[in-house]
Structure 1
């Protein structure tokens, strides 16, 4: 089957051919005829199957007939993230270049002035995130009573992000007689309930089993000793697995920033995108990645859904996703449009439960990938264990000692008796009082109690002189004075 067999206009076929497409994907082949017949639609398709074009192409032909009115968009497409909304807008510009259609993009992170101006001039296609749309609606800047076509894209992601109450409110403001298209990768009970409430006799299309991953993607799990060595293992794979372009996903924004900084310091051409960045910075990083200025993009899950970047050869789950559904969408960034891809998930011991949930959802065990260079990136404890034990080290006695001079050759201090002959000590009575001898009162004070508490050893009495007079100091243990 060719695109020309789907009932699209000649102007639209020219735009499709200019993009290099000739044969529709399975989801496009089944969805486009039903949308052109104005039927409601539920389409379950894994990411990367071309489902964006399956509603963009027929919408362009449907909207080619009619006129636009101020503040009243003719069609509405709801997207969960700014990036996905911008990507859908890009598709409309490319495929609708031969049609006189006006489009407005309502997303957060940018000023409302230009968006309000576009709405006042009238638009055929309004692409919006639920939050910004509700904000403008409550301000009275937009009317939804003229919207005859509604597309809810990535419905399961809307559920994860808490947008279902907003979607129900928006649907209640739309005309009852309208065409509604719902696209999702999975069909959890809340989405089934939403479809039953707001869709009328929809056609159900499923091109892949829910939560299954693309068979074009070779998937591995990489056991690591601990989370501390994940960076080393990641760098090893990036250097050895022929990585041309890669997206690396983390669970936390702080991890995204730290990992991107670490990769840059290691010489990799890396960028980052996460929820704390403003819209202009996020778009700039995506443009750098698409242009090849950088070939590694570290992301949080804000970028996991819907981003269509051609030629992504590898996807890395630096952190195992907390929600198993996120695994399908993360790895779906590679292996797109018939190309092959490789996906690696780093598994630390604390990730055991999360990877079990992923394997339970996808219905198969991931192949284990052993990193040859992991020995170079062992945790600190393992590195310490490899050091030689103490008993294996050279004994202390065997270590070479610094040579010393023989003891006999050392200068020995003179005997005390000889020192006494050289400098006879004056009698105790003739010595100067302690406070007059040295001005170090504080030091003497600290040392004095120690001297008083220890009894001084009596010096041996010297022999009396020939005249029978005592010429030495009076010993303290004698209780009389010298004659």
Structure 2
């Protein structure tokens, strides 16, 4: 199937041709026909599967562009970076449509400038973060009540960050016939009341896969200890040759330290994505990242969530997030658009339970350790020898073990039992040696006799 088979309007097909989109992903094949027919959906699919264009294309196709001064689509995202990314995606698709306009409204941007931009004309498509959108509506600047489509992207993160009340407020102001669709890589139980309230008639779409992450990603555990993190990171950096590598941390205050480590390793040009950047810095940093200015990027989970950075080949998690769904989003920065990728996790005994939980979700890891300043694979699967209960040594050993069962034993019985078992094994081994020697002598004697008779 090709994008041209969906029956989109000419301006969309022209845009798709220019950006080089030919074949839809699985989630796009499922979602696009439904939204194109005005059906609301709840789509759950792991990061990097093309969820953004699965809602943008049919909505931009369906909008009535003759209603030029009305907001017809509202897209809500949890982060400024994701909002800007969708804003750029929307502009790309509307390039050949001179009637469609798009507005971006996110925290940190000059709100007075945003107000001036919408005073004379409301944008056709509005994209933004919950708090800023709500403020713009309450102050009478954005008339979102006319929206025919609402998309809540990365909804689980909106819930986690405490923005669901703002979204609930805005939806309560929009007409009841609005088409509300929700997209996320993960959907937690806390969202159920919200889903029942606004999306009870929606069609649930899920990319079913035993592995919750993209199959193109190789997950690698590297055994370390806290004091060895720097040396392990140095070794990983020296062994990989990334197109783009993202290094993730839980705490923003660790980012400067990791950047200084990378500088020490000889990497001088490092990008950074985190909440301590002001709005201008974040906008500039995102543009530079999208332009391919950085081979190495250090990031926090929230800042990098949902954004598509072209060409990420490697992920390094210096630590694991408390909410393990964020690891799925971290690793999902790579392995996108059919490319392969690697996700490294620095691992020690303190986060063993987290690794076990990720494995229980279906993620398979290969295991490495640092040895002689190199990463060496650890063979974690030990081959078990077949147990034959009928072998003499096992028969005699079982007799000794059974002898102690059900008895009132004295202290030190395990030591005595072990000594008896060892003696049995030793006696049987000697017996086997004697039998082997006797057999060898017999074979030699037999061979010698045959040689004599032949002569």
- TM-score of the superposed pair, with normalisation by structure 2: 0.78
Is residue 85–residue 105 contact of structure 1 (8 Å, CA) maintained in 2? yes
Is residue 304–residue 326 contact of structure 1 (8 Å, CA) maintained in 2? no
1:202 to partner: Cα distance: 1.3
Paired position in structure 2 for 1:263:
262
1:209 to partner: Cα distance: 4.0
Paired position in structure 2 for 1:20:
20
Is residue 248–residue 315 contact of structure 1 (8 Å, CA) maintained in 2? yes
In structure 2, C-alpha distance between the alignment counterparts of 1:110 and 1:11, rounded to whole Å: 30
In structure 1, C-alpha distance between the alignment counterparts of 2:211 and 2:194, rounded to whole Å: 19
Paired position in structure 2 for 1:308:
308
User: CA 1:65/1:285 → structure 2, altered by over 3 Å: closer, same or farther?
Assistant: closer
- TM-score of the superposed pair, with normalisation by structure 1: 0.74
Write the deviation string for residues 117-143 of structure 1: whole angstroms up to 9, x where unpaired.
Answer: 222221100001001112222323223
Q: How does 1:211-250 map to 2 (within 5 A)?
A: 212-224=212-224, 226-250=225-249
In structure 2, C-alpha distance between the alignment counterparts of 1:375 and 1:311, rounded to whole Å: 26
1:167 aligns with 2:197: no
Q: CA RMSD in A?
A: 1.8
Is residue 321–residue 354 contact of structure 1 (8 Å, CA) maintained in 2? no
User: CA 1:375/1:104 → structure 2, altered by over 3 Å: closer, same or farther?
Assistant: closer
Paired position in structure 2 for 1:444:
none
User: CA 1:144/1:317 → structure 2, altered by over 3 Å: closer, same or farther?
Assistant: same
Paired position in structure 2 for 1:281:
281
Three-state SS of the structure 2 residue aligned to 1:327 is: helix
Paired position in structure 2 for 1:196:
196
Write the deviation string for residues 101-125 of structure 1: whole angstroms up to 9, x where unpaired.
Answer: 1111010111112211222221100
1:210 to partner: Cα distance: 8.6
Three-state SS of the structure 1 residue aligned to 2:182 is: strand
Unmatched segments (≥5 aa) in structure 1: 377-483
Paired position in structure 2 for 1:109:
108
In structure 1, C-alpha distance between the alignment counterparts of 2:293 and 2:5, rounded to whole Å: 39
Select 1:96's aligned residue among 94, 97, 106: 94
In structure 1, C-alpha distance between the alignment counterparts of 2:61 and 2:363, rounded to whole Å: 42
In structure 2, C-alpha distance between the alignment counterparts of 1:371 and 1:289, rounded to whole Å: 31
Paired position in structure 2 for 1:40:
40
In structure 2, C-alpha distance between the alignment counterparts of 1:136 and 1:332, rounded to whole Å: 33
Which structure would you say has the larger Rg?
Answer: 1
Is residue 248–residue 300 contact of structure 2 (8 Å, CA) maintained in 1? yes
Write the deviation string for residues 64-116 of structure 1: whole angstroms up to 9, x where unpaired.
Answer: 443133xx522100001000000000001111111121111010111112211
User: CA 1:375/1:332 → structure 2, altered by over 3 Å: closer, same or farther?
Assistant: closer
Unmatched segments (≥5 aa) in structure 2: 376-455
Write the deviation string for residues 319-378 of structure 1: whole angstroms up to 9, x where unpaired.
Answer: 111111001100000000100000001013322233233333x324422122344489xx
Is residue 46–residue 210 contact of structure 1 (8 Å, CA) maintained in 2? no
User: CA 1:192/1:210 → structure 2, altered by over 3 Å: closer, same or farther?
Assistant: farther
In structure 2, C-alpha distance between the alignment counterparts of 1:87 and 1:95, rounded to whole Å: 13
Write the deviation string for residues 387-440 of structure 1: whole angstroms up to 9, x where unpaired.
Answer: xxxxxxxxxxxxxxxxxxxxxxxxxxxxxxxxxxxxxxxxxxxxxxxxxxxxxx
Bigger proportion of residues as strand: 2
Bigger proportion of residues as helix: 2
